Amino acid sequence: IWNTVGVVRGAERPDELVLIGAHRDGWGPGATDNVSGTVSVLEAVRAVAEELKAGRRPRRTLVFATWDAEEWGLVGSTEYVEEDSARLTSGAVAYLNQDGAASGPAFGGGGSPSLRAALRDVARAVPDPSGAGSVYDVWRRAAHVAEGAEPAMGDPGGGSDFAGFYN
């Protein structure tokens, strides 16, 4: 089992960690599970590298990871959590799991209730590729959400790498 982990130390709050991870293994060929997740982690690394080259550092420490053996029982991420549990318990602010990050044109999201407002805010800020408003606008219309209500988001289950961090 081989995990890959990269760290960018935060400038203002280096002991606070924001982690973004995705598993590299899959049951078969396909872009959704989980090439899309791995690519999203790598694209985040590329974007942060550009900011670093420009002299801008993140406030918090960023940890980028690709996990091995997710399909075989969440082995890679679980081992990481077990090995670094003291630091994660005291300093982890968020874990952003990228499993099946992209599949077709429809947007949807889910996760910890404490992160749902942040996800909605990001969706509001990103233009939808269709040109029909923001990702959030298109999501709301597709979900047929009543005025004043929010599109539904799923709750974490237990079948992906977030489980060790969430627990």
63: helix, strand or coil: strand
Bridge partner residues of 67 (DSSP): 23
Phi, psi angles (nearest 5°) of residue 4: -115, 130
- Active-site residue numbers? 70
Alpha-carbon gap, residue 15 to 101, rounded angstroms: 28
Alpha-carbon gap, residue 110 to 112, rounded angstroms: 7
